[in-house]
Amino acid sequence: MATSSFNPGELANLLKDFPILSREVHPGVSLAYLDSAATSQKPASVIDAMDEYYRRTNANIHRGIHMLAEEATAKYEDARQKVARFINAHSEREIIFTRNTTEAINLVAYTWARANLKNGDLVILTEMEHHSNLVPWQILASERGIRLEFIPVTDEGLLDLDAYQQLLAQEPRLVSFMHMSNVLGTINPASEIVRMAHAAGAVALVDGAQSVPHFPVDVQDLDADFLAFSAHKMLGPTGIGVLYGKEALLNAMPPFLGGGDMIKKVMLRSFSANSLPHKFEAGTPAIAEGIGLGAAVDYLTHTGMDRIAAYEHELTSYALDRLSEVSGLTVIGPRAELRGGVAAFTLADIHPHDVAQLLDREGLAVRAGHHCAMPLHQRFDLPATTRASFYLYNTRADIDRLASALERVKKLFG
């Protein structure tokens, strides 16, 4: 049975939850926000939760015994439990709060990888990775002499799993890949990639920055050893992200940063590390942001991740159809049924930055550039693309505005 999407009444009520969507970005020009792959907008419930913390509960957590400290600690740790349930982790001990997806991946590179990888060991990545899942391993390669190999991307924008199988014969120690491409929109077969990695004896890290916000992700079903994602792409605030890790792996890893809260005992010449998850959370954390993330998880859970995914699929299919009507426009990536809500494109010979700037005049917020995926753009022989990305608060009217505005951009450039 197909999952139901939003009916018009539900969608109208949902849009009212996002204060910024009522803004005029230019005189008489309303906002159509099509840049959620970069960061999502925030519902009032998230904004209110953070505001309430600062107005009523502001205190440091874990160490204080006064009422404010205990209330703040309870709210912060409640958010961790919500995240654990959201991705179906075995325990909240497996949820490490970081600043973002980038820091979460770096945490694995600086702890697990530096403790386990040596000269000549192989790490498999893909050609479609965000820089956050390339540069940490490049740094490690320059330090340790590890080898990096890459699963190729086909002309359609899919990973070449036959080539991946051949790479696995080289006995990698780690396979690290993105669940969904922030450029192509490709939703990779993550469970299969993880299963193949484990069969080859490798640990698997999944970059879930673009997947966790948009469709259900169950880490037990996925069987990923690590999963990284960011709050700000899933209706939450900036400044906080998540690293999920299997408890046995996290327990065996050395600490990431040193300081307060990540210790049990400190002497002048030695220390003993705290238990999970605090072992990896040195210093005062982003408390209000953690509470905001918890509120975002509440909002997504109440709305229903299956329904969000179904609605975005309908929206993406409609967008690809409408964009195909614009002559001279080429969308890169696979067909709608294989992708999430991302459409990166070129328009004739017009530079993507010019396209984005002209769209902004009409209230359309899109992205232009390489989207932190320069190697992927090189793979398609493109210096840059314009990217429209969709979320639960977008509508067909937004896409109609985009298609019409692109026609006017084309006309302006002759």
What's the token pair of residue 203? 């640990």
From residue 73, alpha-carbon distances to 67, 203, 284, 358, 392 in Å are: 10, 33, 12, 47, 31
Structure-block tokens of residue 36 = 């959620």
Q: Which residues are catalytic?
A: 372
Q: How far apart are CA 340 and CA 362, in angstroms?
A: 25
Which tokens hold the place of 83?
Answer: 């995240």
325 SS3 class: coil
Which string of DSSP letters, residue by residue, matches 212-257? Answer: TTTS---HHHHT-SEEEEEGGGTTS-TT-EEEEE-HHHHHHSPPSS
Q: Measure the CA–CA gap between 12 and 125, rounded to whole angstroms.
A: 41
**Rg (alpha carbons) of the chain, rounded to whole number:** 22
- Alpha-carbon gap, residue 211 to 228, rounded angstroms: 10
Q: What are phi and psi of 300, to 5 degrees?
A: -65, -40
Q: Are 176 and 151 in contact (CB under 8 A)?
A: no
Is residue 108 within 8 A of residue 205, CB to CB? The reply is yes
Residues paired with 230 in a beta bridge: 241
Nearest to 106 by CA among 260, 251, 256: 256
Q: Report CA 172 to chain centroid distance, whole Å.
A: 25
Report the DSSP beta bridge partners of residue 124.
149, 175
